[in-house]
Structure 1
Amino acid sequence: MSAALSLDLVDLPADAVEVGRIADAWGVKGWFKVLPYSAMPEALFSSKRWYLQPAERGVRGFEGTRLLRIREAKEHADTIVAWAQDIPDRDAAQALRGARIFVPRSSFPSTGADEYYWVDLLGLAVVNREGVGLGEVRELLSTGPQTVLVLSYQQEGKAHERMIPFVAAYVDRVDLAARRIFVDWQPDY
C-alpha cells in the first residue's frame, strides 16, 4: 500500500476520460491486469501517463488523483497488462486493485475518416432526414457485429429509450462540431 501512496498527487486533466480499471496484480514484478472499457483500447497503449482515482466501492489503496507513469502496456491473452514506475512489486500492484484509470482525451490516437471514439458521441443530438429530433446519445452498445446508439428522449413528460444501429445504412453523417448525428430513421421504428 505504501508504494501506491508514493505516486504523485495531481489534478485530473480537464479532458480526462475514464478508460478502464485495474483488476489485479499480475506476476511478482509489479505488473498489473487492466480491464479496459473499450474493445479497442488504443488510448491505454498511446498514453504513458495514466491518472488513477480510487475504486468507487470496496477497499481504497489511496485517496485523490494519482499519476501513474507507464513503462509498458500490452495485450496478454484476453486481457491487458501494464507495468509502471513506482510499482516495484506484487504488493504495490495489489494496492492499486479497483483503481479507475483516466487518460487525457488529447492523448488518444487520431481517428481515421468515419471513425469515432464512443466518448465523442455521448451527448450528441440525433436528428433524422426530416429534421425530427430523435433523442440524445446516452450510451453505445457493442452487439458483436455492430454498435448500437442508445438514445434517451422525452415524450409526454416520460423518459423513453430508442436504439439505432450505428452503421452506414442508417447513419448519414456525424457532425462533431455541431454535436449532431444525422440518420435515416423514423420515430416510430
Structure 2
Amino acid sequence: MSAQICVARIGAAHGVRGAVKLWTFTEDPLAVKRYGPLLTKDGARQFEVATAREAKGHLVATLKGIATREEAERLNGLELYIAREKLPETDEDEYYHADLIGLAAVTTANEPLGRVVAIHNFGAGDIIEIAPPQGATMLLPFTNAVVPSVDLAGGRVVIELPAEIEGDDPTAA
C-alpha cells in the first residue's frame, strides 16, 4: 500500500442536512473536491466531497451519502487521507511533510544526528523534530538557515545546528 497523506479532518455537523465543517491541510482548501474518494486511516471507509464552500478557517462541505445531522455528527474528528501519488508535484524547495518523515538528519560536517520524526507548526512557522539514536528529540526551526539542504533522493536532510539555544546557558546561575 502506498503512503497515505492526511488532507482533511471532519469537524462538527453544520446545519440539519448532513453538512460538516471540514478542515483541510492542502495549499488550496477546495482541492479536496478534486482528489476523488478520501479514505479513513485504516482504509475501511471512504467519502467523496459533493459540495464545499469556504467559511472562516475551514470549509462547509457535504459528503456523498451523508444526508442527516445525526450521520454528520458521527463523523466528527475523522481524518481523511489520499494516496501520496494523487498529490501534485511540489515546487523546488517545497516538500510534503510525509516525504520528510524518516529521512536521516546529518550535520553540515556529515555527522549523523538521527532521523526526522515529525514536522510541527504551532503557529509561528514549521518546526522539524529530529530523534537521535539516544536521548531527547530536538525541535528546530524548519528554515533555510537551520535546514540548508533537503535531499529526498539521497534520503537525508542537512542540519546547521544553531550556535546557542536561548535559555540553554549552563553557566547561568
* 2:102 aligned with 1:114: no
What's 2:10 paired with?
A: 22
Shift of 1:153: 0.7
CA distance 1:49–1:82, shift in 2 (3 Å): same
What's 2:123 paired with?
A: 144
Which piece of structure 1 moves more, 40-49 or 13-22? Answer: 40-49
Shift of 1:146: 2.5
CA distance 1:167–1:177, shift in 2 (3 Å): same
Number of matched pairs: 164
What's 1:44 paired with?
A: 32
Please point out which of 53, 61, 68 is paired with 1:82. Answer: 61
What's 2:147 paired with?
A: 171
Shift of 1:39: 7.6
Q: RMSD of the alignment, in Å? A: 2.7
Shift of 1:49: 1.3
- In the superposition, the TM-score normalised over structure 2's length comes to 0.79
Partners of 1:34 and 1:119 in 2: CA distance: 21
C-alpha deviations, 1:7-50, integer Å up to 9, x for none? xxxxxx633223343222111222111244x4847563542311
Which piece of structure 1 moves more, 103-112 or 113-122? Answer: 103-112
Stretches of structure 2 that go unaligned for 5 or more consecutive residues are 166-173
Structure 2 SS opposite 1:65? coil
Partners of 1:173 and 1:140 in 2: CA distance: 16
What's 1:34 paired with?
A: 22
Report which of the two has the higher share of strand: 1
Shift of 1:187: 9.3
What's 1:125 paired with?
A: 104
Structure 1 SS opposite 2:67? coil
Q: Which amino acid is the alignment partner of residue 26 of structure 1?
A: H
Identity %: 29
Partners of 1:122 and 1:103 in 2: CA distance: 17
Structure 2 SS opposite 1:177? coil
Stretches of structure 1 that go unaligned for 5 or more consecutive residues are 1-12, 55-63
C-alpha deviations, 1:86-110, integer Å up to 9, x for none? 1123222223223231122122232
What's 1:180 paired with?
A: 156
Assess if the C-alpha contact under 8 Å between 2:9 and 2:80 holds in 1.
yes
Shift of 1:143: 4.1
CA distance 1:46–1:114, shift in 2 (3 Å): farther
Shift of 1:173: 1.4
CA distance 1:104–1:41, shift in 2 (3 Å): farther
Assess if the C-alpha contact under 8 Å between 1:25 and 1:93 holds in 2.
yes
Partners of 2:112 and 2:28 in 1: CA distance: 32
